[in-house]
Each structure stands twice: as C-alpha cells, then as structure tokens.
Amino acid sequence: MDELQLTIYSVAIPFLLSVVLGWLFIPRVLILSHRKQLYDMPDQRKMHHTPVPRLGGITFLPILLIVVCMSLGVWVMMRMPYNSETLDDLFTRFILLFVGMMVLFLVGVVDDLIGVSYKAKFLTQIISAVLFPISGLWIHDLSGLFWINEIPTWVGILLTIFVVVYVTNAINLIDGVDGLAAGICFVSLLTLGLAAMVKGQHLFMLITFGMLGILLPFWYFNVFGHVEKEKKIFMGDTGSLTLGYLVSFLLIYMASGAGITFPREMLIIGLSTMFLPMFDIVRVVIVRVRNHCNPFLPDKNHIHHKLLRTGISSRCVMTVLVFVSLLLVLATMMGVFYHLGTTFVFLIDVLLWLVFDGTVNYYIRKNHRKRYE
C-alpha cells in the first residue's frame, strides 16, 4: 500500500469508528444517568440550574480503547508497514498511556458520582504523570525556549511530570461552559493530528483521530442537546482528566523526539494548543494569592466566567475562546515557519494573550458600567 492509502486508513477508520460508537453510546449514558439520577447537583459556581448528567466523559476511554486496539490490530494483521524495532517502545508507551488514563478514569468517575478531595485528585494525577518517565518518555530538549536546549535527565523528568499535571488540570478547570473544553481539545488534537499526518506518524494519527471522532458526537450533545428533552450531557471530571492526560501524552511524545521525526519546534507548537487554559491558570492563581485565598479552591474568576460577565451568551463564549485558541496556534505556527526563535514566539503568544485579557477586562468594565447606569 502506498503512503496515501495508509494515511487515509489511519485517519478515516478510527475517526468513523469512534463517531459511530460515540453516537451509539452517549445516548445510553444519558438514559442511564437520568434513570438512575446520576446528576451533578446545581450549586453556586456552576452555570446551569436544571440537573444535567455529567457522565459524558466515561465514554472516552472505552471507545478510544476499542478504536485504537481494533485499528492497530487490523494494521498489523494486514501486514501494513511498521518499524518492528521500535514496536516494543511504542507498545510500552501506549499501554502505560491506557494504564494512566484508567487510573484517572476511576478517580474521575468517583469524583463525578460522589466527589473526591482535590488532594486525592492531585495525587492520582502525579501518579499517572510518573508513568511517562517510567516508559522512557520525557522532555529531553527545550528546543531554544528561554535559550535553553539540552536539559539534564532529572530536570526533564520533573518538567514532564509538571507539564502533565499542569495540562490535565488546565483542561479540568476550563471545563465550565458548554463545549469549551471539548472545543479547545478539538483544536489541539487536530493540530497534533495534522502534524503527525505531515510527518507520516500513523500511530499518532490513529489515536488523535480516534479521539476527535469521540469528541464530535459528544460536542453535539454537549452544545446542542436540550436540557428539557434530557439530551444534554457534560463531560465531567472523568472526561476532562482523561482528555487532558491524552493531550499531554501526545504533546510530550511529540516533543520528546524519542527516535521520531518531529521538528524541534514541535514542543512549542504542541504547547501553544494549550496556552489559553494554561495562561489562564497562572492568572487565576496570581489573583487568588493576591487576594489571600487558597489557590486550590474553586471560584468564579476563570476566563470563561470573565467572558460571561461581559454579557455575551455561553455559546458565544465558547466560540470566542476556541477561536482565540486557534489564533494562538496559528501565530505560533507562523512564528516557527519564519524561524523567529522559540522564545520570541512564546513572547508573542504571551503578548497576544495579554491583549485578549485586556480586551475582556475592558468589555467587562463597559458592561458593568452599562448595567450600573
């Protein structure tokens, strides 16, 4: 088979399979949650006031497992080309990916059903993050970010664990408006998937497009489902934790350059897909520390809360934020394309984000004043 057929196979088969499975499975989860009353009880911080099930995330891991196993099995069975020398390494990493996802899945399900303290959640995130260095996967090279290139092993391992926990939490915290976390992850996975497609990394394409395929029906039910018709669903902590873990796995795998052919700037491109939630966490933590609050306790200061305060609808918030995320990715890609240097590209991203945040603050003040008058 030639390259084109392989690419089509590794994009279309997992994508279609997981769209179909998601389409079949998510309505069942809805029926299940409504019949067994597995709701997220509305409270102060949340945006909604009628009970909506938040078990949508439990579909992600099983469907991804089925899709990846099936398409990988068929791949090897049809004797499509693969590099058998690196297969051991790949196998180790992908199995440990699913092990870590499963740990987060279990914690997430318990959290969605009866609640888990943030300490326990944090601990499990660190445990699952440690699996990456164990499988021989850590950031070797900052590729010129802050003028640092090669970094020592232990720094790389600590940095990897930090990035995994950071990205996982970032997605967990951005999941406050319908379709927002799914939309940002969609942009991120699409970018990573296209990068894998350009470089002909079929295994990555299987995983990214499989996950994209699940996000599509989920996103539909999340955004367009009617609460009254019992069609609306949230991804909950299960979804955001597993999704965040998967995204950080792909980021770090592509950045670590362990025997594969991604360019050195892949680290900054991959991270830029997550810059919006990541920068937002920094801002929120700074604000909380300045106000002498516990930085781990939830409040209403995230970017989507701020955007809602400007007076636009929640669907509009989602669109704006996904668009800004896309803009950051495009800016980074342009910067990398014109060889501006990684640090400079990063500074441009920070600048763009500051401009965005300033604009939001301006509109909040305007809206506030308008309401006051």
Partner 1 sequence: MIYVSVILPLLLALLLAQYMIPRILMVSVKKDLVIPSETRDKGRLRVPRLGGVSLFPVLVISAGATAALCARFDGSLLWMTENDSDFVQYMFAAAGLTTMYLLGVMDDLLGVSITSKLIIECLAALLIPLSGLWLDNLHGVLGIYELPWWIGMPLTMLTVLYISNAIPMLDDVDGLASGLAMIAFTVLGVVAFLADELVLLIFCSAMTGMLGPFFFRNVIGSRMGLRNIYLGDTGSLTIGYILSVVVIGLSRLGGRCLPEGVIMVCFGTLLIPMFDVFRVAVTRMVNHRNMFRRDNNHIHHRLMQGGMGPVQVLVFIMIITFSFVILNVVCVWFDWNLSVLLVTDVSLWLILQVVISYYKNKKRNF
Cα separation, 95 vs 149, in Å, equals 30
**Minimum CB–partner distance for residue 119 and partner 1 (Å):** 16
Cα separation, 353 vs 285, in Å, equals 16
CB 269 within 8 A of CB 195: yes
For residue 37, state whether it binds partner 1 (rule: CB under 8 A).
yes
Phi, psi angles (nearest 5°) of residue 82 = -150, 160
**Minimum CB–partner distance for residue 56 and partner 1 (Å):** 15
Site string for partner 1, 155-184 (x = CB under 8 A): ------------------------------
Q: Would you say 90 or 165 has its CB closer to partner 1?
A: 90
CB 168 within 8 A of CB 248: yes
In the list 35, 119, 292, 371, the residue contacting partner 1 (rule: CB under 8 A) is: 35
Packed helices 275-290 and 342-372: angle between N→C axes, nearest 10 degrees: 60
Cα separation, 197 vs 72, in Å, equals 16
Q: Would you say 54 or 302 has its CB closer to partner 1?
A: 54
For residue 99, state whether it binds partner 1 (rule: CB under 8 A).
yes
Cα separation, 4 vs 200, in Å, equals 10
In the list 1, 8, 32, 194, the residue contacting partner 1 (rule: CB under 8 A) is: 32
The residues near 9 (Cβ < 8 Å, ≥ 6 apart) are: 1, 71, 75, 80
For residue 92, state whether it binds partner 1 (rule: CB under 8 A).
yes
**Minimum CB–partner distance for residue 271 and partner 1 (Å):** 26
Q: Would you say 83 or 313 has its CB closer to partner 1?
A: 83
DSSP 166-218: HHHHHHHHHTTSTTHHHHHHHHHHHHHHHHHHHHT-HHHHHHHHHHHHHHHHH
Dihedral sign (CA 141, 145, 148, 151): negative
Stretch of residues binding partner 1 (CB under 8 A), selected from 108-116, 176-184, 322-330, 332-340: 108-116
Cα separation, 233 vs 302, in Å, equals 21
Q: Would you say 210 or 225 has its CB closer to partner 1?
A: 210
For residue 130, state whether it binds partner 1 (rule: CB under 8 A).
no
For residue 362, state whether it binds partner 1 (rule: CB under 8 A).
no
Site string for partner 1, 9-28 (x = CB under 8 A): ----------------x--x
**Minimum CB–partner distance for residue 109 and partner 1 (Å):** 8
- Residue 299 CB-half CA count within 13 A: 16
Site string for partner 1, 50-89 (x = CB under 8 A): ------------x--xx--xx-xx--xx------xx-xxx
How many residues touch partner 1 under the rule CB under 8 A: the total is 39
Stretch of residues binding partner 1 (CB under 8 A), selected from 134-142, 190-198, 313-321, 340-348: 134-142
Tokens of 366: 């305007």
Which residues are near partner 1 by CB under 8 A?
25, 28, 31-32, 35-38, 62, 65-66, 69-70, 72-73, 76-77, 84-85, 87-89, 91-93, 95-96, 98-99, 102-103, 105-106, 110, 113-114, 134-136
